[in-house]
Amino acid sequence: MKLEVKELIDLYVANIPNTKTEEGRKESDRLLAEAMALTITPEEKKEAGAYMREAMRNRNKKRTDVDTRTMLDEIKSAVSMAYIAENYFGKGRAWMNQRINNTMVNGKPTAFTNEELKILADSLDDIGNRLIALSRSIHRSL
């Protein structure tokens, strides 16, 4: 399967939470139509469909294989995880800490889903970009 088809399907799956709005639905329709337009043979269409079904199945799986605790260890004292939980996830500090530490809740380890890991990565990008902009502003004022 073409890499571009996979990327479009991944974007389609990642956009699913946005389909609650008309704009989000249109974007999902566009992504799926664009991906399927790149498949020509019946075999390519079948392969793309199988890839999409697998991506949909994996979308909400808990990712206990990702060691977010170690990854975030270096920055946790500099960046407020409570701020990220509240402003990017709409959740509380305890929710965030449970996922970072894979805490057992109701007999199961908690973990971030793929979608939540993307939100976490995007939130860190956003905060990083804001810090860089602030730093540049301070430098310009010197």
Q: Which domain holds residue 52?
A: 3-59
Question: Would you state the structure tokens that stand for residue 100, as one six-digit string?
Answer: 């970072």
pLDDT of res. 27: 92
Q: Which of 77, 75, 81 is nearest to 95 (CA)?
A: 81
Asked if residue 134 and residue 81 are part of one domain, the reply reads yes
Asked if residue 74 and residue 119 are part of one domain, the reply reads yes
Quick: pLDDT tens for 88-106: 999 999 999 999 998 988 8
pLDDT of res. 60: 67
Asked if residue 51 and residue 8 are part of one domain, the reply reads yes
Taking residue 57's Cβ as centre, other Cβ atoms within 10 Å add up to 10
pLDDT of res. 57: 81
What is the average per-residue pLDDT within 35-49? 93
Which residue is associated with the tokens 């389609």? 12
Q: How far apart are CA 40 and CA 29, in angstroms?
A: 18
Q: What are the distances in angstroms from CA 26 to CA 22, 39, 52, 55?
A: 6, 20, 18, 20
pTM of the entire predicted model: 0.60
pLDDT of res. 17: 77
Asked if residue 74 and residue 130 are part of one domain, the reply reads yes
Asked if residue 115 and residue 87 are part of one domain, the reply reads yes
